[in-house]
Structure 1
Amino acid sequence: MVLLVEDDGLLLMEASDTLVEAGFQVVEAPHADRALQVLESDREVDALMTDVDMPLGSIDGLALARLVARRWPWIPVLVVSGMGTPGPNDMPDGALFIPKPYAPFDLVQTLHDRVRRAA
């Protein structure tokens, strides 16, 4: 299951549809606070995909990525953004960055690779 965190409703729907069509189960979260609720529940999360810039919620996507890497280090983290590339110290070790707009095939392939490596 992929936990998909995106504040833009249209982008959330498009990414979710792409992942579902590729065979992933997806849980959508419009901001990091909702994503943390999902992670703290009993749901098994196989990968996190988060946007960086999310005005709603208490933290942005990079802070969420770092928190997930500390608390749930077995969950692969994929960070996406159309606002620029994160700096070398912005992302946790092992996290991967994909700039927006991304090709659906590249997104699916990257997540398949990340989940396989974590298994």
Structure 2
Amino acid sequence: MEKRILIADDHPIYLMGLRALLSPLAGQYHIVDEALTTDEVISKLEFHDIDILVTDFSMPGDKYNDGLALIQLIKRRWPALVIIVVTMIHNPGIQRALRQLGVHAVISKAGLATELVHFIKGLSGTSAFSKPTADALASTGISLTPKESEVLRLLLRGLTVSDISARLNRTKQTVSAQKKSAMRKLGVTTEYELYQQLQQLGLFS
């Protein structure tokens, strides 16, 4: 069954680019509509049954002119929706806040041509909402301890090692060691590679 996509950007040229990028996925994914403002995003989510939203972070709108507030509203009203944010903003704080709100991917417009299709293809045959539990990862041939999986889940929500330490009542050294151990098992060396690997595995918080 085709997955239904809504694309949103206030620049028509980017909308054309998104359509062109996603056209090779026809048969699996179908762009049902597009939006130029945040208000249109909400109205079209209300009108259509959408599976995936690909949206710019900063768009004009009368009612919803704050990107984080918009995403928060969307996640509250459509919790099962897969949200992919495309942006030129490289602020780590904003990216962390988006992950905490449950955004499934934050993709730079500079890397859109390769990263968007790669990410959406990675959704095929996976649950976009499964958490990186030990059982789920074991099905991929990767064996993590429950504590390592818990640390990964919280990292994906945007928490820092210090945040996780306080939440789980573990020392920062212990959390850091569990994070490093999980990354070693996954074959990654940076947090960016970690997020990319978990996206490819279809494991999201």
1:109 alignment partner in structure 2: 118
Which of 7, 11, 19 is equivalent to 1:8?
A: 11
Which of 90, 100, 103 is equivalent to 2:109?
A: 100
- TM-score by length of structure 1 reads 0.83
Preserved contact between residue 85 and residue 103 of structure 2 (Cα < 8 Å): no
2:127 alignment partner, SS class: helix
Preserved contact between residue 50 and residue 61 of structure 1 (Cα < 8 Å): no
1:77 alignment partner, SS class: strand
Task: Tell me how far 1:90 sits from its aligned partner.
Answer: 4.2
1:13 alignment partner, SS class: helix
Moved more, 68-77 or 54-63: 54-63
1:76 alignment partner in structure 2: 82
Structure 1 CA distance, aligned partners of 2:87 and 2:120? Answer: 16
- Listed as ranges, the matches of 1:43-82 within 5 Å are 43-59=48-64, 60-82=66-88
Unmatched tracts of structure 2, length 5 or more: 130-205
Q: When you count strand as a share of all residues, which structure comes out higher?
A: 1
Q: When you count helix as a share of all residues, which structure comes out higher?
A: 2
1:97 alignment partner, SS class: strand
1:53 alignment partner, SS class: coil
2:20 alignment partner in structure 1: 17
Task: Tell me how far 1:57 sits from its aligned partner.
Answer: 4.0
Structure 2 CA distance, aligned partners of 1:98 and 1:38? Answer: 22
Q: Which has the higher contact order (CA 8 A, sep 6+)?
A: 1
What are the superposed Cα offsets for residues 54-87 of structure 1, whole Å, 9 maximum, x if unpaired? 1344324433222121111111111111122324
Change (3 A) 1:62 1:16: farther
Preserved contact between residue 69 and residue 75 of structure 1 (Cα < 8 Å): yes
- TM-score by length of structure 2 reads 0.51
Measured on the aligned residues, the alpha-carbon RMSD in Å equals 2.2
Q: Looking at CA atoms only, which structure, 1 or 2, has the larger radius of gyration?
A: 2
Change (3 A) 1:52 1:103: closer
Task: Tell me how far 1:49 sits from its aligned partner.
Answer: 1.0
Q: Percent identity?
A: 28
2:97 alignment partner, SS class: coil
